[in-house]
Amino acid sequence: MAMTIRDIAREAGVSTATVSRALRGLPNVDPVTRERVRQVAERLDYVVSPAASRLASGRAGSIAVITPYIARWYFARVLSGIESVLQASDLDLLLSSVGDPSESNHLPPHRKLRRRVDGFLVISLPTDTPGVGEIFDLDLPVVLIDTDRPGCSSVGIDDVAGSRMAVQHLVNLGHERIGLISGRALPSPFRPEENRIVGYHETLAEAGLAIEPDLEACGHFTIEGGERAMTSLLARPRPPTAVFAMSDEMALGALRSLRSHGLEPGRDVSVVGFDGHEMAEHLDLTTVVQPVEQIGARAARALLDRLDSPTEGPVHVELPLEMVVRGSTAPRRDRS
Amino acid sequence: MAMTIRDIAREAGVSTATVSRALRGLPNVDPVTRERVRQVAERLDYVVSPAASRLASGRAGSIAVITPYIARWYFARVLSGIESVLQASDLDLLLSSVGDPSESNHLPPHRKLRRRVDGFLVISLPTDTPGVGEIFDLDLPVVLIDTDRPGCSSVGIDDVAGSRMAVQHLVNLGHERIGLISGRALPSPFRPEENRIVGYHETLAEAGLAIEPDLEACGHFTIEGGERAMTSLLARPRPPTAVFAMSDEMALGALRSLRSHGLEPGRDVSVVGFDGHEMAEHLDLTTVVQPVEQIGARAARALLDRLDSPTEGPVHVELPLEMVVRGSTAPRRDRS
DNA sequence: TTGTACGCGTTATCAC
DNA sequence: GTGATAACGCGTACAA
């Protein structure tokens, strides 16, 4: 039924070895022979059997992307960036989502991927997550996104710096009671979450402002979580006049909470987000923009490089952040 | 280095054939033998070589998901639904995004996937898209999402009905000039787009309302596109008092346009969206909710069923829609 | 119920 | 530059 390399060899009047070399662009093939083989393969609509090729070569021909989520804004975008790079390579992209490591539905990716990939791209997951830690025992190249580990390549942003930009902006506007909407109660399994909290605390401290647990609330990275968090902050004895939300989605929830309390974002309470969600632009949210798709693309490229030249050492890429100031932040005014 | 089936056979004191049968759960294996083999495999940390297994069995062990986009709200969610089902199977999920078929960056998936998958899941793409049409020549099971084709399984919603729900709602509220924010100028490559337009036209006609090109604008399925479309509609000689946007993201853009013109959604101009985006809830947008993740999950399940029993005929799944009425729609009031 | 032996379609190592 | 040919690791008739 399907063509085999022997069919091509026979038809082109050469050996299977030559067909293999010619089609893969290996050296030591007469240009004329190579072209003839190419023509025949084309004419007979031949494509190599990946299974046979992989068995013989020992390479899996695929890389795995391991992510906690697929549909969430950030992860979908990183994935898209990864795919855009892998598309042009000859590797298959195997997708595996494992859920939040702190949730009960979390399931380890490790077993399913054994012997079927040449490398891993891990998004956000801590390296000691069950099922993820074992990946490093496989002796395959791994590129980490949003976290790092000795001897392992990594791509990400400077979360501490980004968080500092956001909070410093509020400080500069004269705010003295600056709240935080974080993801969950510490310790978080996710590195960016911890680092953004660090940036928040550091900046407050340097500005001579007190760090009060009463200024912090958890928003679980969702819109409604952010809304609840803001509502909770507003209900406290001495509510903040400004808030840094660790993600745009939580910040958008916070905006909504403000409005439903008759408060206007910016004028009454300033809000800064983090991400660069499209919705931020349309809801006039000040935010720290990270180049999400690029994060994925750079990580994928780093992995490809590593597969091409396995002797190279690990690479660490840090992508730049940009603060976009919009109407949700304004100088502090005492509320009447 | 890595264990082979022979190592297990030797260690368990049986033949490789028995190991193969035992590990795959085939019948005609003594329970005691099977258990012993399992133990040995477990102890030696053995996993079959997918390449060898695939070569010998002729099965590719993977399915491909072909989608125009990865990061967009709808597609990311469908993909997530697909992955949740495939996760539990023993098939690999190969991801391939091809871009909008009407854009120049579109690239055909066909070649890259030859011989490496057992079936296809195609999201939204028209079956005559370059590179997609050829898939059907491969004689592999295909499940189509958001479109259909004779002899091929499909999963989706009734876009005409959904569109009718939305527009009828506006008619019932007394609106007579009902605008449409569509994706692009017809003909569209996407079936849902065409069907939603049909539903819009049909409902208008049945209500005895005129169909005016002047009431329609393109929003390209993005927030800002929706905003521009609404702005354009407002600038026309006789602007609509209500608008049906074919996606929530476009509807959200429309809301923003209204506000920036000093108009209040609902009170001044009613807006209905389509999708069930989280943001719709938080911006009080009336919308037609579709079960997006379920669409992906059902499609994946349909494909798995088809792989299990290839003799079964095609299946057609139509998932239910739900209209959620919120504050963005209200009875028509003549503007002062 | 179990074992033997061949075939799956390449790649890679030699010789030539 | 090219051709034989031995792996690669498993599935599966067929025989026992």
Residue of B83, B95, B115 lying closest to A2 (CB–CB):
B115
Residues B163 and B281 both lie in one domain = yes
User: With the CA atoms of A122, A128, A134 and A137 taken in that order, what torsion angle do they form, in degrees rounded to the nearest 10?
Assistant: 90
Give the whole-angstrom CA distance, residue B41 versus residue B19.
Answer: 9
| Residue B122 pLDDT > 70 | yes
Residues B305 and B200 both lie in one domain = no
Name the minimum distance, in Å, from the CA of A283 to any CA of chain B.
Answer: 8
Residues B20 and B68 both lie in one domain = no
Domain for residue B333, yes or no? no
Top pLDDT among A39 and A312 is at A39
The domain total for chain B is 3
| Residues B79/B101, Cβ–Cβ less than 8 Å | no
pLDDT per residue as tens digits for the range A140-180 = 999 999 999 999 999 999 999 999 999 999 999 999 999 99
Residues A152 and A296 both lie in one domain = yes
Residues B149 and B298 both lie in one domain = yes
B286-289 and B322-324 strand pairing: antiparallel
The CATH number of residue B10's host domain is 1.10.260.40
For B171, the domain range is: 159-290
pLDDT value at residue A108: 78
pTM of the model: 0.95
Domain for residue A324, yes or no? no
Residues B181 and B251 both lie in one domain = yes
Which of B55, B57, B89, B105 is the best residue to mutate to test the A interface, defined by the most A CB atoms within 10 Å of its own CB? B55
CB spacing of A94 vs B93 below 8 angstroms:
yes
Residues B151 and B210 both lie in one domain = no
The verdict on A225 touching B (C-beta cutoff 8 Å) is: no
Domain for residue A279, yes or no? yes
| Residues A242/A170, Cβ–Cβ less than 8 Å | yes
Residues B21 and B112 both lie in one domain = no
Domain for residue B330, yes or no? no
If 0-12 CB within 10 Å is exposed, 13-18 middle and 19+ buried, where does residue B323 land? Answer: middle
Residue of A60, A80, A97 lying closest to B70 (CB–CB):
A80
The protein residue nearest nucleotide D6, judged by CA to C1', is A56
pLDDT value at residue A114: 92
Structure tokens given for B209: 């309302």
If 0-12 CB within 10 Å is exposed, 13-18 middle and 19+ buried, where does residue A201 land? Answer: middle
The CATH number of residue B189's host domain is 3.40.50.2300
Domain for residue B325, yes or no? no
- In three-state form (DSSP H/G/I as H, E/B as E, the rest C), the secondary structure along A160-216 is HHHHHHHHHHHHHCCCCCEEEEECCCCCCCCHHHHHHHHHHHHHHHHCCCCCCHHHE
Domain for residue B336, yes or no? no
Residues B10 and B29 both lie in one domain = yes
Instruction: Give the residue from A219, A275, B188 showing the smallest Cα distance to B198.
Output: B188
pLDDT per residue as tens digits for the range A283-299 = 899 999 999 999 999 99
Give the whole-angstrom CA distance, residue A62 versus residue A90.
Answer: 8
pLDDT per residue as tens digits for the range B45-89 = 999 999 999 999 999 999 999 999 999 999 999 999 999 999 999
> Of B40, B57, B74, which residue sits at a domain end?
B57
Domain for residue B335, yes or no? no
Type of residue found at A248: D
Residues B221 and B238 both lie in one domain = yes
Output b/e per residue, A129-143; b: 16+ Cβ within 10 A: bebbeebeeeebbbb
Asked if strand D contacts B29 at the CB level, meaning under 7 A, the answer is no
Residues B46 and B122 both lie in one domain = no
Domain for residue A36, yes or no? yes
Residues A10 and A116 both lie in one domain = no
Structure tokens given for A121: 């791209």
Give the whole-angstrom CA distance, residue B217 versus residue B225.
Answer: 10
B87: which chain A residues are within 8 Å (Cβ-Cβ)? Answer: 96-97, 107
Structure tokens given for A184: 């969950």
- The nucleotides of chain D lying under 7 Å from a protein CB are 1-5, 7-13
